[in-house]
Structure 1
Amino acid sequence: MGMARSMMKAISMPGWFWGEAVTTAVSILNRSTQSVEGKTPYEVWHGHQPTVHFFRTFGCVAHVKAGGKPPTKLEDGSTPMVFVGHHEQGTKAWCFYNPITQRVHVSRDAVFEEDRPWDWGEEKGAGPNDDSEPFCIELITIGQACRTAGAAEAARTPPTSSAPTTPASTSSRAAMPTCGSEPRTPTATPPAPTMIQFASPPSGEPDLDDDHDEVPLRFRTVENVLAEREATKELLAAIKDEPATAEEAKGIKEWRMAMLEEMASIEENKTWTLVDLPKGQRVIGLKWVFKLKRDEHGEVVKHKARLIAKGYVQRQGIDFEEVFAPIARMESVRVVLAVAAHRGWSVHHMDVKSTFLNGELVEEVYVARPPGFTATGHEEKVLRLHKALYGLRQAPRAWNAKLDASLHELGFTRSKCEHGLYVRGAEASRLVVGVYVDDLIIMGEMNKEIDSFKLQMKKLFKMSDLEPLSYYLGIEVKQGECGIELRQSAYALKLLEKAGMSGCNARATPMEVRLKLSKASTTPLVDDPTMYRSIIGSLRVGYLSRFMEEPRTDHMAAVKHLLRYMEGTINYGLWYSGGGGGEISLLGYSDSDLAGDIDDRKSTTGMIFYLGANPVSWLSHKQRVVAFSSCEAEFIAGVAAACQATWLGHLIEDVIGKKTSPPWLKMDNMAAIALKSHAHDRSKHIDTKFHFIRECVDRGDINVEFVGTKEQLADILTKPLGKALFQELRERMGVIKLT
Structure 2
Amino acid sequence: MLKGKNLPAIFWGEAVMAAVYVLNRSSSKGAGGRTPYELWTGSTPSVHHLRTFGCVAHVKDTRPHLRKLDDRSKPMIFVGYEAGSMAYRAYDPTTRRLHVTRDVVFDEETKWNWDSNKVDSEFIIEYVAAEHPEVVLTRPDERLPPEARDASPNLASPVQEHVLPGPAVVHVSPPGGMEDGLDADQEEEAPLRFRTLQNIEEAGPALGLMGQEHQAELLVMDIEEPTSFQEAYEHAPWRKAMQTEMDAIEENGTWHLTEAPAGHRPIGLKWVFKTKKDATGKVIKHKARLVAKGYVQQQGVDFDEVFAPVARLESVRLLLAYAAGQGWSIHHMDVKSAFLNGELQEEVYVTQPPGFTVAGDEDKVLRLSKALYGLRQAPRAWYAKLDAALLGLGFHRSESEHAVYMRGGGLHNQHKLIVGVYVDDLIITGVDITELKQFKKEMQNTFQMADLGLLNYYLGLEVRQDGSGVSVNQKAYALKILATAGMEGCNPSSTPMENRLKLSKSSTAPLIDPTQYRRIVGALRYLVNTRPDLAYAVGYVSRFMEKPTVEHLMAVKRVLRYIAGTADFGCHYGRRKGPGKLIGYSDSDLAGDVDTRQSTTGVLFFLHDSLITWQSQKQRVVALSSCEAEYVAAATAACQGIWLSRLLEEFQGEEKANPFTLRIDNQSAIQLSRNPVFHDRSKHIDTKYHFIRQCVEENRVRVEHVNTNNQLADILTKSLGRDRFVELRTKLGIAKVEEVRQA
Shorter chain as normaliser: what TM range? 0.7 to 0.9
Q: Cα gap change, 1:214/1:692 in structure 2, threshold over 3 Å: closer, same or farther?
A: closer
Q: Cα gap change, 1:557/1:422 in structure 2, threshold over 3 Å: closer, same or farther?
A: same
CA deviation map 1:60-117 (0-9, x unaligned): xxxxxxxxxxxxxxxxxxxxxxxxxx9xx99999999xxxxxxxxxxxxxxxx99xx9
Distance 1:633 1:688 in 2: 14
AA at the equivalent of 2:234? G
Q: CA deviation at 1:542?
A: 2.2
Q: Which of the residues 501, 507, 510 maps onto 2:487?
A: 501
Q: Which of the residues 238, 248, 257 maps onto 2:220?
A: 238
Q: Output aligned runs, 1:269-418, within 5 Å.
A: 269-418=252-401
Distance 1:634 1:324 in 2: 35
Distance 1:213 1:538 in 2: 47
Q: Cα gap change, 1:500/1:631 in structure 2, threshold over 3 Å: closer, same or farther?
A: same
Native 8 Å contact 1:166 1:177 kept in 2 = no
Native 8 Å contact 1:585 1:660 kept in 2 = no
Q: Which of the residues 555, 560, 564 maps onto 2:552?
A: 555
Distance 2:723 2:11 in 1: 46
Q: CA deviation at 1:611?
A: 0.2
Distance 2:510 2:440 in 1: 57
Distance 2:719 2:52 in 1: 48
Q: Which residue in 1 is equivalent to 2:632?
A: 636
Q: Cα gap change, 1:91/1:612 in structure 2, threshold over 3 Å: closer, same or farther?
A: farther
Q: Cα gap change, 1:42/1:616 in structure 2, threshold over 3 Å: closer, same or farther?
A: farther
Q: CA deviation at 1:558?
A: 1.4
Partner-residue secondary structure (3-state), 1:389? coil
Partner-residue secondary structure (3-state), 1:351? strand
Tell me the TM-score normalized by structure 2.
0.72
Q: Which residue in 2 is equivalent to 1:657?
A: 653
Native 8 Å contact 1:586 1:609 kept in 2 = yes
Native 8 Å contact 1:350 1:441 kept in 2 = yes
Native 8 Å contact 1:524 1:552 kept in 2 = yes
Partner-residue secondary structure (3-state), 1:428? coil
CA deviation map 1:187-228 (0-9, x unaligned): xxxxxxxxxxxxxxxxxxxxxx9x989999xxxxxxxxxxxx
Native 8 Å contact 2:660 2:702 kept in 1 = yes
Partner-residue secondary structure (3-state), 1:721? coil
Q: Which residue in 2 is equivalent to 1:605?
A: 601
Q: Cα gap change, 1:248/1:490 in structure 2, threshold over 3 Å: closer, same or farther?
A: same
Distance 2:708 2:648 in 1: 29
Q: CA deviation at 1:730?
A: 0.7
AA at the equivalent of 1:510? P
Distance 2:173 2:299 in 1: 62
Question: Is 1:489 matched with 2:475?
Answer: yes
Q: Which of the residues 480, 497, 501 maps onto 1:515?
A: 501
AA at the equivalent of 2:445? K
Mean Cα displacement is larger for which, 354-363 or 284-293?
A: 284-293
Distance 2:360 2:330 in 1: 51
Q: CA deviation at 1:508?
A: 1.3
Distance 1:373 1:715 in 2: 59
AA at the equivalent of 2:653? G
AA at the equivalent of 1:644? Q
Q: Cα gap change, 1:304/1:684 in structure 2, threshold over 3 Å: closer, same or farther?
A: same
Q: Which of the residues 644, 668, 684 maps onto 1:671?
A: 668
AA at the equivalent of 1:48? K
Q: CA deviation at 1:270?
A: 0.6
Q: Cα gap change, 1:293/1:362 in structure 2, threshold over 3 Å: closer, same or farther?
A: same
Distance 2:736 2:137 in 1: 57
Tell me the TM-score normalized by structure 1.
0.72
Q: Cα gap change, 1:530/1:444 in structure 2, threshold over 3 Å: closer, same or farther?
A: same
Q: Cα gap change, 1:94/1:268 in structure 2, threshold over 3 Å: closer, same or farther?
A: same
Mean Cα displacement is larger for which, 539-548 or 403-412?
A: 539-548
AA at the equivalent of 2:716? L
Q: Cα gap change, 1:44/1:314 in structure 2, threshold over 3 Å: closer, same or farther?
A: closer
Partner-residue secondary structure (3-state), 1:479? strand
CA deviation map 1:643-696 (0-9, x unaligned): 111111111111121256421100010000000112132212111111111111
Question: Is 1:534 matched with 2:519?
Answer: yes
CA deviation map 1:144-163 (0-9, x unaligned): xxxxx99x99xx9xxxxxxx
Distance 2:626 2:54 in 1: 53
Q: Output aligned runs, 1:94-243, within 5 Å.
A: 238-240=220-222, 241-243=224-226
Q: Which residue in 1 is equivalent to 2:568?
A: 571
Question: Is 1:260 matched with 2:243?
Answer: yes
Q: Which residue in 2 is equivalent to 1:624?
A: 620
AA at the equivalent of 1:525? L
Q: CA deviation at 1:406?
A: 0.4
Q: CA deviation at 1:539?
A: 2.2
Mean Cα displacement is larger for which, 439-448 or 367-376?
A: 367-376
Q: Which residue in 2 is equivalent to 1:733?
A: 732
Q: CA deviation at 1:494?
A: 1.2
Native 8 Å contact 2:270 2:293 kept in 1 = yes
CA deviation map 1:280-337 (0-9, x unaligned): 1121111111111111111111111111111111111111111110111101101111
AA at the equivalent of 1:530? T
Distance 1:37 1:324 in 2: 45
AA at the equivalent of 2:391? H
AA at the equivalent of 2:674? S
Distance 1:463 1:403 in 2: 12
Native 8 Å contact 1:237 1:249 kept in 2 = no
Q: Cα gap change, 1:139/1:375 in structure 2, threshold over 3 Å: closer, same or farther?
A: closer
Distance 1:136 1:574 in 2: 51
Q: Which residue in 2 is equivalent to 1:525?
A: 511
CA deviation map 1:556-608 (0-9, x unaligned): 221121111111111111111111x3232111100001111112111111010
Native 8 Å contact 1:412 1:423 kept in 2 = yes
Distance 2:57 2:565 in 1: 35
CA deviation map 1:422-469 (0-9, x unaligned): 000122221000000000000012111110000000011000100000
Native 8 Å contact 1:237 1:243 kept in 2 = no
Q: Which residue in 1 is equivalent to 2:712?
A: 713
Native 8 Å contact 1:91 1:498 kept in 2 = no
| Corresponding pairs, count | 584
Distance 1:501 1:26 in 2: 34
Native 8 Å contact 1:91 1:500 kept in 2 = no
Q: Cα gap change, 1:352/1:601 in structure 2, threshold over 3 Å: closer, same or farther?
A: same
Distance 1:414 1:452 in 2: 20
Q: Which of the residues 416, 423, 427 maps onto 1:441?
A: 427
Q: CA deviation at 1:26?
A: 7.1
Q: Cα gap change, 1:40/1:257 in structure 2, threshold over 3 Å: closer, same or farther?
A: farther
Q: Cα gap change, 1:262/1:345 in structure 2, threshold over 3 Å: closer, same or farther?
A: same
Native 8 Å contact 2:291 2:374 kept in 1 = yes
Point out where structure 2 has 5 or more consecutive residues left out of the alignment: 19-49, 62-72, 78-92, 94-113, 150-165, 183-197, 203-214, 526-537, 739-743
Partner-residue secondary structure (3-state), 1:524? coil
Q: Which of the residues 49, 63, 74 maps onto 1:48?
A: 74
Q: Which of the residues 583, 586, 600 maps onto 1:587?
A: 583
Distance 2:552 2:394 in 1: 52
Partner-residue secondary structure (3-state), 1:396? helix
RMSD: 3.9
CA deviation map 1:343-377 (0-9, x unaligned): 00010000000010000000011111112221111
Question: Is 1:472 matched with 2:458?
Answer: yes
